[in-house]
Structure 1
């Protein structure tokens, strides 16, 4: 019996059927039309749907396994990088071994692009792409779940209710991650905490570390040995510009002024779209060092993850400009000043803090 069938990515044998079902899913087709042909008149929706389905059927006829699907994704990544970034730089990737499965524990800025940039770097370096952890809160539309699982995503059941159901979900997730790394020799990507760091402060949630340990704890493996078995590599992802910055600032501003923020039903899907198509400037992905034995508690392990993520974070001109403006000094980056001018006035201080915080956090760690 496949104990992970409801959370694992799709395997090669499942790809053709899932793709065939997707093409016949009106919600999927209408989403593509809304994304690619938003300015077209409504009365053309039916013929557009017919044409989109024809094109998709032709494309999926060439896809018979997960690798084929990921090659299509790689083509879209190349196009996205050309149109929305000034450059993408990978640091520390040369330290990774092609024969080893790593647990990439990453800071989190963008729902889709964080793992996508990690994946693309591994692909370019000839390493195995990652199995991606994704919360079920993002999968309210079934076609999104199918697309993610085709792209080697596995599901984190954040919506589990009650202690017993949550513990069962965490146990299943822990077992899947451990098996992926130690038996399958696959790479895993997971964020250091639930949700994006909207304020620019990167901090690992100890509950994530405790979840990693659960499956090996049952086998009486010590915490230090168990975590070393997982070969955790902290990853720092830095964007010169965050395409979702103003939306994040609006959420933070509303929470701070009213104490509440009500998400729209498909707001996360909009964030995914905006993160993909929005301008990012320079992107830097830094792979840290494998964390070995010597950490006896989740809290000690968290300290090491945070140290690597924060000190390895690539400081961009936008971070320096934001801190200068916070300190009442002239902006060190005229482009950032123009960008800030386009921000609603009541959100500017929040946006400034978002960009300045990674630099302030790094200075604190480095005592500079």
Structure 2
């Protein structure tokens, strides 16, 4: 299995050595002191040094870190749909993507609490340039999606990634998480890139690609935050794209997004998982005889489910009403909630930049717009 060494997480046999390498790193100390504020450094260090598997590291350390994050920066995490999934079964979770680390980590918390197989999760290699973050990602069963490649290198990398995901799902009984498109959604529009599905299907040795997708057991995932902790940080790129400008990231931008996402205010969070796509795929095949159209239809089906299951919050309705200068959804929020949202808008954006203000409001309002395409009454 050496062919996957460039992208895979640690094997359990490598975990203990990796933990010994980072146990004295200042970022590990910061993380553990945050997670276990009453525990002396020697105690958690000793426990880390006795850890020999990813599952033990996730269950004994990361799970507790995320509980502390939720306690400090949210008003709780709710879920729906997990009871429909089977234990000891691998699934391909295709998810909308709002926060760099939390989306997949929170999903794993939910899977763990429901006694389900946790995921190996795709992460862009641009996010783990720092050695400690690269180690932490591999300790958390993240596998790398290589960025910034030439077209030829991209093709080879995509084939390898597809083969690795197939290996995990079909041979190792390991669930996989991947975002529905590259990068986080910055404008509130959750759309599946058919290119992601084509990449996943590269490993299929079957004539019928859709049959391969059935074997992978695709489950659409909707994650929504009442407040996006990185909403303002997403604005510069959104504005550059609106002006047809090339956006160049600051060298520490991804790292700052990670920290802000973890510790920023989120209020309520909801994760909903849909049903395994099975009869839906049969219907797609019956209605489309062209492989390309089938992939497009599958992407649309995933979109439909993610949007349908997406939890709307008062912030979404408030932004919609402000943006459209209406009171259409005034019954969906309290005046105190509107005041809080407006204060956040003024503090973070101000009133002297109408374009940025519009982008900020649209980010929260677009999930309402998308829901309205499916149903008249929300």
> Which TM-score applies when normalising by structure 1?
0.89
Number of equivalent positions: 347
In the TM superposition, 1:23-102 aligns within 5 A as 23=23, 28-29=25-26, 31=27, 57-71=45-59, 72-102=61-91
Other-structure match for 1:47:
none
What SS does the corresponding residue of 2:269 show, helix, strand or coil? strand
Q: 1:111 aligns with which of 75, 85, 100?
A: 100
Q: For residues 30 and 170 of structure 2, what CA distance do their matches in structure 1 show?
A: 42
TM-fit CA distance, 1:210:
0.4
Note closer, same or farther for the CA distance 1:199–1:54 as it changes in structure 2 (3 Å cut). Answer: same
Q: For residues 69 and 220 of structure 2, what CA distance do their matches in structure 1 show?
A: 25
Q: 2:349 aligns with which of 341, 344, 351?
A: 344
Other-structure match for 1:155:
144
Counterpart check, 1:198 vs 2:186: yes
**Aligned-pair Cα RMSD in Å:** 2.1
Counterpart check, 1:229 vs 2:211: no
Other-structure match for 1:270:
256
Q: For residues 36 and 285 of structure 1, what CA distance do their matches in structure 2 show?
A: 26
Counterpart check, 1:360 vs 2:365: no
Q: 1:169 aligns with which of 157, 162, 171?
A: 157
TM-fit CA distance, 1:56:
6.4
What SS does the corresponding residue of 2:373 show, helix, strand or coil? helix
What SS does the corresponding residue of 1:19 show, helix, strand or coil? helix
Verify the 8 A CA contact 2:16 2:50 in the aligned structure 1.
Answer: no
Q: For residues 36 and 53 of structure 1, what CA distance do their matches in structure 2 show?
A: 8
Counterpart check, 1:305 vs 2:291: no
What SS does the corresponding residue of 1:202 show, helix, strand or coil? coil
Of stretches 140-149 and 197-206 in structure 1, the one that deviates more from structure 2 is 140-149
What SS does the corresponding residue of 2:224 show, helix, strand or coil? strand
Other-structure match for 1:40:
none
Q: For residues 244 and 6 of structure 2, what CA distance do their matches in structure 1 show?
A: 39
Q: For residues 131 and 302 of structure 1, what CA distance do their matches in structure 2 show?
A: 22
Of stretches 89-98 and 142-151 in structure 1, the one that deviates more from structure 2 is 142-151
Note closer, same or farther for the CA distance 1:188–1:359 as it changes in structure 2 (3 Å cut). Answer: same
Of stretches 230-239 and 121-130 in structure 1, the one that deviates more from structure 2 is 121-130
Other-structure match for 1:2:
2
Verify the 8 A CA contact 1:311 1:366 in the aligned structure 2.
Answer: no
TM-fit CA distance, 1:329:
2.8
Q: Which runs of 5+ in 2 are unaligned?
A: 34-39, 286-293
Verify the 8 A CA contact 2:19 2:49 in the aligned structure 1.
Answer: no
What SS does the corresponding residue of 2:374 show, helix, strand or coil? helix
Counterpart check, 1:291 vs 2:277: yes
Moved over 4 A (4+): 31-37, 52-56
TM-fit CA distance, 1:53:
8.3
Q: For residues 58 and 373 of structure 2, what CA distance do their matches in structure 1 show?
A: 40
Verify the 8 A CA contact 1:238 1:285 in the aligned structure 2.
Answer: yes
Note closer, same or farther for the CA distance 1:257–1:32 as it changes in structure 2 (3 Å cut). Answer: farther
Q: Which runs of 5+ in 1 are unaligned?
A: 38-51
Verify the 8 A CA contact 2:89 2:117 in the aligned structure 1.
Answer: no
Counterpart check, 1:20 vs 2:20: yes
Note closer, same or farther for the CA distance 1:35–1:77 as it changes in structure 2 (3 Å cut). Answer: closer
Q: For residues 303 and 256 of structure 1, what CA distance do their matches in structure 2 show?
A: 25
Of stretches 280-289 and 57-66 in structure 1, the one that deviates more from structure 2 is 57-66
Verify the 8 A CA contact 1:322 1:352 in the aligned structure 2.
Answer: yes
The one-character-per-residue Cα deviations of 1:71-103 (angstroms, maximum 9, x if unpaired) are 200011111111111121101011000121100
Note closer, same or farther for the CA distance 1:36–1:74 as it changes in structure 2 (3 Å cut). Answer: closer
Other-structure match for 1:213:
201
TM-fit CA distance, 1:9:
1.4
Q: 2:267 aligns with which of 281, 302, 317?
A: 281
Q: For residues 227 and 366 of structure 1, what CA distance do their matches in structure 2 show?
A: 28
